[in-house]
Amino acid sequence: MPRFTVHIRDEWLAVPCRDTSNTIQWLGLEALKRYVKNKPDNGGITAVKDARFVVRRCQGLGLLDTEDTIEDVLEDNDFVELAIEGDTMSPDFIPCQPGVSHLTAAYKEPGEYISLDGNSLTSTDLVNLGRGLYKIKLTPEAERKVVQSRELWTPLSKKTKVNIISVVYGITTGFGKFARTVIPVSKLKELQENLVRSHSAGLGNPLSPERTRMLLALRINILAKGHSGISLETLHAMIQAFNASCLSFVPEKGTVGASGDLAPLSHLALGLMGEGKMWSPKSGWADAKYVICFLQGLALINGTQMITSLGAEAVERAQAIARQADIIAALTLEVLKGTTKAFDSDIHSLRPHPGQIEVALRFRSLLDSDHHPSQIAESHRFCDRVQDAYTMRCCPQVHGVTNDTIKFVQNIINTEINSATDNPMVFAERGETISGGNFHGEYPAKALDFLAIAVHELASISERRIERLCNPSLSELPAFLVNEGGLNSGFMIAHCTAAALVSENKVLCHPSSVDSLSTSAATEDHVSMGGWAARKALRVVEHVEQVLAIELLAACQGIEFLRPLRTTTPLEKVYELVRSVVKPWIKDRFMSPDIEAVHRLLLDQKVWQVAKPYIDKYQTEYIPESRPVSPTAFSLDPPASPRKRVRHE
């Protein structure tokens, strides 16, 4: 039976078609039915039959007339994309002209290069490569090392030091349980091809083009270290594929994280050898037809690059949202009329964790001070409240350990980004190839489990602050931050959404790296499960971003009820940024687009960019710390010195 793969928003759907005389309109509606069936809210689509959409082939990006029959314009197993008119529901939504693929609309060929040497790439660089901001090239030193390691064992080189009949794992032997099976010389090329084909056994949705670019770039960086035995010609071909954004279809599931990420990296190599599916900005998804590089299978598929590339994105996004969480919490504290005394530098110098000190400093730079006075803070200066709830008072302690954990994880990820994780390892200077265990993903797996646990706490404490904003007995604001409560529900269900995401994170924070299953007939008898650690860390970070987006919306809505009083200058700038994309909540309306719009601000780090100049100025100009009088602090006369005491007596 003919089958077609339809891309809707962020999902791929297989649609069987018994009768290819049906129209493209039928195919689109059938795909939409399958899409909404698995969505609790029908994906925001009220009536499938009334949905207006355009359909295009992924290969060639040709628009399809909805009245054409399927058999006239499509071939069996074609990939097509369906774009709903006016759709903004996808988290990857990019505004574009009707009929223009959002998969390709964002891609612009970069003009700048990053030079790879296998030693100096950072997680920030890798994420930027994934976003398509740079092309890549090798340094001359990296090229020299690649050539030198290749010459060590290649049977085609007159300078080879390892005879072709030598037993080298994965080069002249089978793999895993078959490591003791020596392969005849005549079948060595077939061995490498079979390796990639058989190991391409992953399942699930494909990695996005951005993440596949990261995966390919990181594999190139590791090969550039010169310890894999890859040929320079193959490596140059991989670089050409990256620079043209020709990307393999890599399913997200299937790695146990030792020996490295075999299934995902095999799918990456499969496209490069002319099999499977490939994607490019010009063609979309299509069958791979051209052999991009001469195959050296084992050198391409043995490493932790899937775990590490996804981990790099997770740690970069975690760092971005952690900084912005301080700003959002400071705004909430203002709305809830909290005190700044808990952020006094003397308190935090007595417990000098770097993250705690850093967060307290950010709060001081944003909240009421002689430098940035706040009318809201002044309005409750002499209230009878003694101290604030933990969700406000303990932000430096809770947010601080998240910051310190992110730095710890970032250090491990950056080390892994520039580590040789092949097996066997080629040591050209020693004239040896040695089998080792650098492919084991325990380091990034453990680190990313730590990351998920630490970053989750930002959402956990944020959800409690949302509760305080929405609860009139705690906020002194209208219930659920809306007028005419009852007629309007305001932020009631937005808070429920935040609670649901936090609860889901609690399950996702169970560490995957505590698990291990023996594979490959007990040859690979302990594995890291790092692939799931990376994928769920990313999901946890995304949930944290979304919860904080809800808090930011709620805090800005709370400001509306305190007008005409104004907060500090930096927090007013944050308020103005939010209001540039979301209007105040006067009465109930469709809320999901508002949350998505603010989530996009956080993804683009716009909140950080607005507040950062004020934070930097406070730090660099050594502005004296303000310690205004309030009921939460009291002072005593200092005790008399012993000499004065004697005189007094």
Residue with tokens 């197993």: 77
Is residue 19 classed as helix, strand or coil in its secondary structure? Answer: coil
Q: Catalytic: 169?
A: yes
> Using an 8 Å Cβ cutoff, are 469 and 491 in contact?
yes
- CA distance linking residue 283 with residue 58, whole number of Å: 6
DSSP assignment string, 46-73:
S-GGG--EEEEETTTT-EE-TTSBHHHH
How many helical (H) and strand (E) elements, i.e. helices and strands, does the chain have? 24, 14
Active-site pick, 169, 290, 575, 614? 169
DSSP labels for 222-284?
HHTTS-S---HHHHHHHHHHHHTT-EE--EEE---SSSSSHHHHHHHHHHHTT-SEEEETTTE
Q: Within a 10 A sphere around the Cβ of 527, how many other Cβ atoms?
A: 23
Distance CA 370, CA 356 (A): 23
| Alpha carbons 222 and 161: distance in angstroms, whole number | 23
* Residue 612 dihedral angles phi and psi, to the nearest 5°: -55, -45
DSSP-assigned letters across all residues of 405-460: HHHHHHHHHHHHHTS---SSEEETTTTEEE---TT--HHHHHHHHHHHHHHHHHHH
Q: Read off the amino acid at residue 578.
A: V
Which residues lie across from 286 on neighbouring strands?
278
**Residues catalogued as catalytic:** 169
